[in-house]
Copies of this chain bind each other. A is one copy, B any other.
Amino acid sequence: MKSSSVLSIGELSDRTGLSVSAIRFYEEKGLVHPIRNAGGQRRFLRSDIRRLSFVLVAQEFGFSISEIADQLKQLPEGRAPTKADWTRISREFRAHLDARIEKMIRLRDKLDGCIGCGCLSMKSCALYNAGDAAARHGRGPRYLMGDTSDAV
């Protein structure tokens, strides 16, 4: 527990709130690159606290680990990211988030129409095509509207 310029994995765990196993997993996925001391134990830079915090925030924004790894590859390794770095990345976050919000709002609008009609009939209900067809490539109803014989 001596507080030197580098951190053990346990110290990093305490500082980030991540479990030790999660940090090892993130190393495996290329999110952090600790060095090893003489005894083979991981030693992290203090800047890795910020790096892992970035991971947590990015996950909150809906990015996968591999997407986050790609974003981190564009960030400096041992020093703080520049304002330009952050501007670029935050724009990506914003676009990602906007798209998700818009999709959900479209869905909500269709649902509102459908609460009113209460049909659920498959004949014309907007909900049965509500999703972004392109967003779920390969799955979902192909021609649900073909169900012409159903009462209600």
Contacts and interface: CB of A to CB of B under 8 A. Distances in A.
Interface of A: 15-18, 46-47, 49-50, 53-54, 56-57, 60-61, 80-81, 83, 86-87, 90-91, 93-94, 97-98, 100-101, 104-105, 107-108, 111-112, 114-115, 118, 120, 122, 127-128, 130-131, 139-144, 146-147, 149-152
B46 A142 contact: no
By DSSP majority rule, is chain A's interface helix, strand, loop, or mixed? helix
A122 B57 contact: no
A94 B115 contact: yes
Nearest to A19: B139
Contacts of A90: 111, 114-115
B97 A108 contact: yes
23 contacts: A15-B144, A16-B144, A17-B143, A18-B139, A47-B150, A49-B144, A49-B150, A50-B120, A53-B128, A53-B141, A56-B128, A56-B140, A61-B107, A80-B120, A80-B150, A80-B152, A86-B115, A87-B115, A87-B118, A90-B111, A94-B111, A94-B115, A97-B111
A147 B100 contact: no
Nearest to A54: B120
B105 A141 contact: no
Contact of A100 (B104, B112, B120, B141): B104
Contacts of A98: 108
